[in-house]
Amino acid sequence: MTVPATRLAALRGATTLDADTREQVLDRTAELLGELLRRNELHSSDVISLLFTATDDVRSEFPAAAVRAAGIADVPMLCARELAVQGGSGIPLCVRVMAHVTTVLPREDLHHCYLRGARQLRSDLPE
């Protein structure tokens, strides 16, 4: 029996907040990352790095703080502002993530994760 090779993959996801509060940023970001890992049968040790963006109206906390609060402090993370493009998605209070992970899953079996109001960003993807 051959063991599938581990490879580097990038997963995308996003969620929205009801209000810009520290608690919402922490809770919703933790929920997003947890769901991304669950859907792809991953563990925190599979995460190589995380890049978060947030819309201009998210100012109460860094999304990366939720990851550190969950006990994942050894993963490089970066938080940035989402581009405020004229005619863009227009989704307020939105946190997005790109997770670089190691996985044995082929690309076609990966599941990106768009929760709450962010679902409309990629309604073409299966749940």
Longest CA–CA span in the chain (Å) reads 53
Active-site residue, selected from the candidate residues 31, 39, 68, 119:
68
Exactly one of 31, 39, 79, 116 is catalytic; which is it? 79
* Residue 122 annotated in active site: yes
Active site residue 79: yes
114 is catalytic: yes
The overall pTM is greater than 0.85 = yes
Active site residue 12: yes
Measure the CA–CA gap between 102 and 124, rounded to whole angstroms: 24
Mean pLDDT of the chain: 91
CA distance 127 to 85: 27
pLDDT of residue 35: 96
pLDDT at 8 over 60: yes
Residue 1, pLDDT above cutoff 70: no
* 11-57 pLDDT, tens digit each: 999 999 999 999 999 999 999 999 999 999 999 999 999 999 999 99
Which among 96, 107, 119, 127 is annotated as catalytic? Answer: 96
Distance CA 122, CA 125 (A): 6
Decide: 99 and 11 in contact? Cβ < 8 Å: yes
Helices (H), 42-117: 63-69
- pLDDT tens-digit readout, 78-89: 999 998 877 766
Go through the domains of the chain in sequence order and give each one's CATH number.
Answer: 7-117 (3.30.1330.40)
82 catalytic residue (yes or no)? yes
